[in-house]
Structures are given as C-alpha cells and as structure tokens.
Amino acid sequence: MTLKRSSLVVAAAIAATVQFGGLGLAFAQDALTNVSYDPTRELYRKYNDAFTKHWKETTGRDVTVTATHGGSGSQVRTVIDGLPADVVTLALASDILAAEEAGLIEPGWQSEFPKNSSPYYSTIVFLVRSSNPKNIKDWDDLIRDDVEVITPNPKTSGGARWNYLAAWAYELDRSGGDENAAKDFVAKLYANVPVLDSGARGSTNTFVKNGTGDVLLAWENEAFLALEELEPGSVEIVVPKFSILAEPPVAIVDKNVDEKGTRELAKAYLDYLYSPEGQKIIASSYYRPQHPEHADPEDVARFPDLKLITIDEFGGWKEAQSKHFGDGGIFDQIYSSN
Amino acid sequence: MATFRFREPSIIPGFRLTFGFTIFYLMVIVIIPIAGLFLKTFELDWQAFYPIISGPRFLAALKLSFGASLLAAMFNAVIGVLVAWVLVRYEFPGRRALDAMVDLPFALPTAVAGISLASIYSPNGWIGSLFAPFGIKIAYTPLGIWIALVFIGLPFVVRSVQPVLQDFSKEIEEASATLGASRPQTISRVMLPALLPAILTGFSLAFARAVGEYGSVIFIAGNLPRQTEILPLLIVFRLEEFNYAAAAAIAAVMLVASFIILLAINLIQVWSQRRFGNG
C-alpha cells in the first residue's frame, strides 16, 4: 500500500519534471553565453543590446545573450569545468589556449577571425593622482624608492600579466636585450608594490577608492573608466612612451556550439564585433578599435600613439606563460630572492 | 551500558529512512568531495608533494592563516560571550534589532564584506584614517586580515552561547552569592564552567570558518608573498596554473591541520564536561 503511494509520488514528480521541461523547450528562443573577463562589463552590456537588435533585424529571431565576467583565468576554468559557453572573450590568448588543450576549442581559432581574432585591443598605461604629484612619466619612475605601484597579481590576473610583460619589455628594449637587467627591473618594480590584489577591478578599487599607492598600472580602457566614471577629477592618465599591445582574443567554443547547434549564432555574434556598429561601441567603451574609421572621431582621439610591442616578441603566450608565470617561473623567483 | 538495538521502539518511527538519508546525504555532500580531494593529492608522489608543503612561502602562509584564525577566534570567544550576555540579560530599546544584526556577517556576500572592510580600514577610510597619523596601517597588513576574520566569526560564538545563557537561571548566581562567593568567583567558578562547552563550540566554528575564508580576506589582505598571503590564495594560484593536484595537496594539508586542531578542541570540551559537569 505504502509502496504504491510512494511510487505514485515519484511518478507524479517525473511527470511534472517532464512537463516543465517540455514547457521550457516550447518557450526556447536563441540563447548565447559569452564568458568574458572583468573590465569588459560595460562594453558587452552595450554590445549585447546592439547585437540583440541586429539579430532580430537580420533573422527575425529573438536572442538572449548572457555574459559572465570575472578574472580571466577563473572564467576559463568555469568553461573547462563544464559551463556551456558558446563564445569566450578573454583577457589573453593563453587562457583560450587552456580551453584548447582541454579539447573544447579546435586549434587554429586565432586565425578564425581577423586580426588574430582580436576585434579590439588595448595597452597598459599609468593612472596617477591628480596633477601627478610624484611626477611619474615613464617606466623608469616606477622603480624609484618613493613610488608605490599598484598592480594585481599576475598569477591570478590576466591584466597583470600584460603589466608585468610591458615592464619587462621596456627594460629589455632599453638595455639592448639584457634579460638579467629586465629581471632586476621587474624585481625592483614589484618591491614597490604594497598590495597585490587578485584582479584588475580589485586593484582599481585599492588605488582609486582606498587611496593606496602613487600609480596604478592598468588597461587603458580600465583607466579611462576610472577617470570618467568612477572618481572624476581625482586621478589622471599618464601614457608611457613604450608599452605592450594587449590583444584580448575571442573564440567560438567549438565543442559546446556543436552540441547545442548554435555555431551560426556564435559566429554572427563575434563577426558583428568587427562591423562598423561593433567597432563604434568598442571605441566608446574605451577599447582601441581595429577599424578606427568606423568609430566616432572623438572616441578615437582619446587614444594617443605610442610604441607598442607585441606578445610575439616573447615567443607567444605559451612560452611567456611558462617562463614568467608558471610554477617557479621568473615571477616566483623575484619573490623568493628578495 | 545498554546494548545497541537496531530498531529502538519509538513514538516516531523511521530510523531506517532517516539513517539512510543521513548516510546518503553525508556521502554526496561531504565524504565524496573530500575523498576526491585526497585522491587528487595522491596523484603526487612524495618528491612532488614535499616541495609544495615545505617552501618558505607556504610555511609563511600556513602560519598566517592558522595564526590569524586562532587569534580571531579567541577574540571572538571573549567578545562573543560579552555580546551574548548583553543580549540575554538586559532589556533595552533596540535589543531585537541588535540581536538580528549579529547575523549580518552570515548574510553578507563575503566579497562585499571584504571590499567594505578594505575601504573603511584603508589609510583614507573612516577608521583607517584615525590610525594612519600614528603610523598604524590596518588594511593590507596581517592586522587587516585579523579584522576580516573577526568580522565573519562573531555570529558563531554569540549564537552558540546565547541559548545556554538563556537557560542559565539567575537563581544559581544568587545562590552562589548567598553562599559567600565574590563576583569574580561567581563568574569564574559558576558561570564560565557552565558556558565553556558552548564557548568552545562557537570558538571551533569561528576558527574553522576563518581558516577557509577567502572572499572577504582577499580584498583587505594585500596578498604580498610571505607577508600577507593566506593559504587559500596559494590554492587559487595553483588552480590558475591548472595544477589541480598541487592545489588539492595544499587543501589536504589545511584540512588535516584543521582537523587536528578541532579534535583537540573537542577533547578539551569532553574534559571540561567531565570536570565541571554538563554545561
């Protein structure tokens, strides 16, 4: 008797699940998940609205785009661990390489879209206190004894790896290719760092809101955001003469889109980033567009020219990652030697 | 000693069902994940394992994590009893609101707590700016870590001591006084022994929570290697390197160390119950 009753309950529960499952399917519309990193929050909020409209106009279908943000490294781990992302738009190629090694993304993704699959780029600049009281002009000034530098930990933050590599490249260039000099330089620089936050947003907060440090190494887009949206008038941007070309790449997560049948949508989503509308939104979100001719001239005027070194000079991300940021790499060495 | 009987006749039957559910639940929620952790650790042989747990950076982080957690739990054990005492023994306007506020550290997302604490205790924050002129830095030092751990641990002690204190009748204090005990004697020989098991429970809960705490500490810690770097952060570093085995190894060491400390606290609890009777 009891057995019958309980099996009835189970049957009802199964029936209900099936019912609601079916209901969910009936209402299904196009949906896309974009796993991105921290400072792209504002960019993709604007872009997703534009793309939703564009998709409706071209295909007549509704699409819901969900974007998740966080530290680039932990974001890619959520994808590797099973988050069904359709596209990843991360801070650096090495994080996408990790997804490639996990078998989620097919090799060759970096030539799937134009410009190394980077629809926008940025660089590393300095954010200093208003009217630059410590007179910080270039990378040299960061190793002065009286300067406190705020940068996140390159072990946990994609942005911070660009910061580190820009400093390394500066000294390597200045010393004519002397790696020991470059190592000393970054060691001195990190000796001036009083707080190593785990992510770029944390560092911005430490510098802008908590008033710690004299200079923040930041993505250019993050620096503009801090300048114009967080605390107007209290900080200003200093652009060094030399910096690194930071290309945050995008990729389709092949395994997931093939399972879900969303490849076409995912491709359209990333393609649209290169369109005139996409480039315009990119420039207005403080990222440097690959096609400045499509952007508002006043947005483009914000970006000064400077000498930009590329990651290829480090032998690509795979090599840079293990040499500098791997376990026992140069970053670990500078902290165990001083 | 009564012999163990599998099915004790009881007013509410259902031992088999509830026991089965308990075992299943503990398996899924606790035992399997922890077993997985240790299995992952065993992927490493001793040559790979030993360097991970013997480097100066690891040892410094171990000392900081456990030291700050113990100190924070001790502080909470004292302040928590005081708060519980005030909430139980006195009537004052706003008591219920205050009572509810004790639970806020439970409810607040830890990252929010961490960012708020960092802004308040940073050199130009409300409280940090009061100490900055004396050269005392709070945020981004071990002191800041301790404050974050005190913050998240407080409810544990208050909530474990409060019900015991509520049941502790005033007459016992009065009897102690009429028998000639001074006030300090009443507190130390009558009240504290009765409260001790509850205090220890609160202490261990606060300690256990503090050791594993990541979200709130990370924003106020400064995260400098060998100075303000906590153990959970080292685990995150290993995860960022996709080195899951090394991350599991650090976690396993933390777990074993925590287990030993909690076991020791439990033994003290048993001892105190024998010594002073049931609290």
Nearest to A210 among B122, B240, B246 (CB): B122
Distances (CA, A) of B159 to A163, A269, A271: 46, 51, 56
Q: What pLDDT score was predicted for residue B187? A: 87
Q: Which residues of B touch A73 (CB under 8 A)?
A: 239-240
Tokens of B26: 């503990």
pLDDT more than 90, % of chain B:
55
Contact B56 A197 (CB under 8 A): no
Q: How far apart are CA A226 and CA A210, in angstroms?
A: 13
Q: How far apart are CA B87 and CA B118, in angstroms?
A: 29
**pTM (2 d.p.):** 0.79
Q: pLDDT for A183-204, tens place per residue?
A: 999 999 999 999 998 888 788 8
Contact B122 A155 (CB under 8 A): no
Q: What pLDDT score was predicted for residue A23? A: 42
Query: Does A11 have pLDDT greater than 80?
Result: no
Q: pLDDT for A323-332, tens place per residue?
A: 999 888 999 8
Q: pLDDT for A27-83, tens place per residue?
A: 457 899 999 998 898 899 999 999 999 999 999 999 999 999 987 888 999 999 899
Q: What is the mean pLDDT of residues B69-87?
A: 96
Query: Does A12 have pLDDT greater than 70?
Result: no
Q: Which residues of A touch B218 (CB under 8 A)?
A: 197-198, 202
Q: What pLDDT score was predicted for residue A16? A: 47
Q: How far apart are CA A30 and CA A64, in angstroms?
A: 6
Contact A210 B139 (CB under 8 A): yes
Q: Which residues of A touch B224 (CB under 8 A)?
A: 193-196
Nearest to A326 among B140, B239, B241 (CB): B241
Contact B233 A336 (CB under 8 A): no
Q: What pLDDT score was predicted for residue B260? A: 94
Q: What is the mean pLDDT of residues B107-119?
A: 90
Tokens of B185: 């004697």
Band (A239; pLDDT cuts 50, 70, 90): very high
Q: What pLDDT score was predicted for residue A146? A: 95
Q: What pLDDT score was predicted for residue A230? A: 66
Band (B204; pLDDT cuts 50, 70, 90): very high
Least trusted range by pLDDT, from A235-239, B37-41, B270-274: B270-274
Q: Which residues of B touch A209 (CB under 8 A)?
A: 119, 122
Contact A210 B119 (CB under 8 A): yes
Nearest to B242 among A98, A155, A193 (CB): A98
Query: Does A211 have pLDDT greater than 70?
Result: yes
Question: For testing the chain A interface, which of B129, B145, B240, B242 should be mutated: the one with the most A CBs within 10 Å?
Answer: B240
Contact B140 A326 (CB under 8 A): no
Tokens of B200: 């220890």
Residue with the two structure tokens 């202490």:
B203
Tokens of A170: 């500066």
Contact B140 A198 (CB under 8 A): no
Tokens of B97: 């609101």
Higher-pLDDT residue of A267, B191: A267
User: What is the ipTM for the molecules in this complex?
Assistant: 0.71
Q: What pLDDT score was predicted for residue A201? A: 78
Give DSSP secondary structure letters for B62-84. Answer: HHHHHHHHHHHHHHHHHHHHHHH
Band (B8; pLDDT cuts 50, 70, 90): low
Question: For testing the chain B interface, which of A212, A318, A330, A337 should be mutated: the one with the most B CBs within 10 Å?
Answer: A212
Pairing of strands A120-129, A242-246: antiparallel
Question: For testing the chain B interface, which of A94, A155, A203, A234 should be mutated: the one with the most B CBs within 10 Å?
Answer: A155
Band (B159; pLDDT cuts 50, 70, 90): very high
Q: How far apart are CA A134 and CA A334, in angstroms?
A: 26
Query: Does B229 have pLDDT greater than 50?
Result: yes
Q: pLDDT for A170-182, tens place per residue?
A: 999 999 989 999 9
Mean of the per-residue pLDDT values of chain B: 89
